[in-house]
Amino acid sequence: MRFALAGGREGMVRTALTAVGVGLGVAMLLLAASVPTARHHRDERTHARIDVNLDDRAIDASDHTVLISDIDTVFRGKEIRGRMVQQEGSAAPLPPGVRRLPRPGEMVVSPALRRLLASPGSHLLRERLAHPVAGEVADAGLLDPGEYVFYLGGSHMVEGVGDTRRLDHFGKAYPRKPLSPELVLLGIAGIVVLLVPIGVFIAAAVRFGGEHRDRRLAALRLVGADRRTTATVAAGEVALSTLAGTALGAVLFLTGRQFAGLVEIQGLGVFTEDLTPEPVLVPVTVVAVFMLGLLVTRLSMHKVVVEPLGVVRRSGGTTRRLWWRIALPVLGLVLLRVIVQSPAGLRGGSGVVLVAVGMLALLVGVTAVLPWAVDRLTRLCGGFGPLSWQLALRRMQLSGETATRSVNGIAVAVAGAVALQTLFTGLAHGPADGAAPTAHRAPSSHTRTAVARLAAGAGNTAAYAPVLAATPGVREAVGFAELSVNPPDGGFTRTVRVADCAQLRRLASLPSCSDGDAFLTTPVGMDRAHDVTTWQAGMTLRVGADGPGWRTPRITATVPVTSADPPGDAAERILLATPGAAGPTGMEDAVGTIRLTYTTTIEDVQDRIRTTAARLDPSFAVDFPGRPEKDTALDGIWRALLAGVAAVLLLIAASMLLGALEQIRDRARVLAVLSAFGTRRRTLAGSVLWQTALPVGLGLLVAGLTGTTLGGALLGIVGRPMVHDWSALLATAGIGAVASVGVTLLTLPTLWRSTRPQGLRHE
Q: pLDDT (tens digit, 9 = 90+) per residue, 222-281? A: 888 888 888 888 888 889 999 999 999 999 999 988 888 777 765 678 888 888 998 988
Q: Regarding beta strands 107-109 and 494-498, do their DSSP bridges make them parallel or antiparallel, or are they unpaired? A: unpaired
Segment 122-141, tens digit of pLDDT: 999 999 999 999 999 999 99
Cβ neighbour number for residue 682 with a 10 Å cutoff = 9
Question: What are the start-end ranges of the H helices in 156-209?
Answer: 181-206
Q: Regarding beta strands 540-543 and 474-486, do their DSSP bridges make them parallel or antiparallel, or are they unpaired? A: antiparallel
pLDDT at site 440 = 42
pLDDT of 50 higher than 80: yes
Residue type, 43: D
Closest CA to 333 of 353, 350, 310, 355: 355
pLDDT at site 643 = 67
| Alpha-carbon span 665 to 661, nearest angstrom | 6
State percent of the chain over pLDDT 70.
81
Q: Regarding beta strands 494-498 and 549-551, do their DSSP bridges make them parallel or antiparallel, or are they unpaired? A: unpaired
pLDDT of 9 higher than 80: no
User: Between these two residues, 631 and 35, which has the higher pLDDT value?
Assistant: 35
Hey, which residues does 450 pair with through a beta bridge? 596
pLDDT band at 442 (very low <50, low <70, confident <90, very high): very low
pLDDT at site 303 = 62
pLDDT at site 283 = 92
Q: Which of 12-16, 436-440, 671-675 has the highest mean pLDDT?
A: 671-675
- Round the CA-based radius of gyration of the chain to a whole number and report it: 33
- Mind giving me the DSSP string for 312-345? HTT---PPPPSHHHHHHHHHHHHIIIII--SGGG
pLDDT at site 269 = 80
Q: Regarding beta strands 494-498 and 575-577, do their DSSP bridges make them parallel or antiparallel, or are they unpaired? A: parallel
Burial of 319 (0-12, 13-18, 19+ CB in 10 A): exposed
∠ CA 92-94-95, rounded to 5°: 140
| Average pLDDT for the chain | 80
What size, in residues, is the chain?
763
Residues 39-64: what's their mean pLDDT? 85
Of the listed ranges 562-566, 586-590, 616-620, the one predicted with least confidence? 562-566
Secondary structure (3-state) at 648: helix
Continuous segment of H or E residues that includes residue 167:
strand 165-167
pLDDT at site 548 = 80
CB-based contact 82:621 (threshold 8 Å): no
Q: Which of 146-150, 339-343, 661-665 has the highest mean pLDDT?
A: 146-150
pLDDT band at 532 (very low <50, low <70, confident <90, very high): low
pLDDT at site 571 = 56
Domain ranges of the chain: 2-41+179-431+631-760, 51-167, 447-599
Residues 150-179: what's their mean pLDDT? 81
Q: What is the DSSP letter of 178?
A: P
Residues 425-429: what's their mean pLDDT? 71
pLDDT band at 310 (very low <50, low <70, confident <90, very high): low
| Alpha-carbon span 653 to 622, nearest angstrom | 44
Residue type, 397: Q
| Alpha-carbon span 73 to 591, nearest angstrom | 19
Taking the complete model, does pTM exceed 0.85, yes or no?
Answer: no
pLDDT at site 567 = 47
Residues 572-578: what's their mean pLDDT? 84
Residue type, 276: T
Closest CA to 624 of 650, 606, 601: 606
pLDDT of 457 higher than 50: yes
pLDDT of 106 higher than 90: yes
CB-based contact 133:111 (threshold 8 Å): no
Closest CA to 29 of 229, 198, 232, 213: 198
Residues 6 or more apart whose CB falls under 8 angstroms from that of 159 comprise 61, 67, 165, 166
Buried b (16+ CB within 10 A) or exposed e, 412-429: bbbbbbbbbbbbbbbbbe
Cβ neighbour number for residue 529 with a 10 Å cutoff = 7
Q: Regarding beta strands 447-454 and 591-599, do their DSSP bridges make them parallel or antiparallel, or are they unpaired? A: antiparallel
Continuous segment of H or E residues that includes residue 66:
strand 66-70
Closest CA to 565 of 507, 494, 639: 507
Residue 316, Ramachandran bin (φ over 0: left; ψ between -120 and 50: alpha; else beta):
alpha
Residues 389-416: what's their mean pLDDT? 77
Helix 400-429 with 210-222: angle, nearest 10 deg: 140
Closest CA to 691 of 706, 708, 705, 670: 670
Segment 503-527, tens digit of pLDDT: 888 888 888 888 888 888 876 655 5
Torsional sign, CA 721, 727, 729, 732: negative
Segment 678-731, tens digit of pLDDT: 888 888 888 888 887 888 888 888 888 888 888 888 888 777 777 766 766 677
Hey, which residues does 477 pair with through a beta bridge? 596
| Alpha-carbon span 234 to 368, nearest angstrom | 23
Segment 352-387, tens digit of pLDDT: 777 888 888 888 888 888 888 888 888 887 677 888
| Alpha-carbon span 416 to 414, nearest angstrom | 5
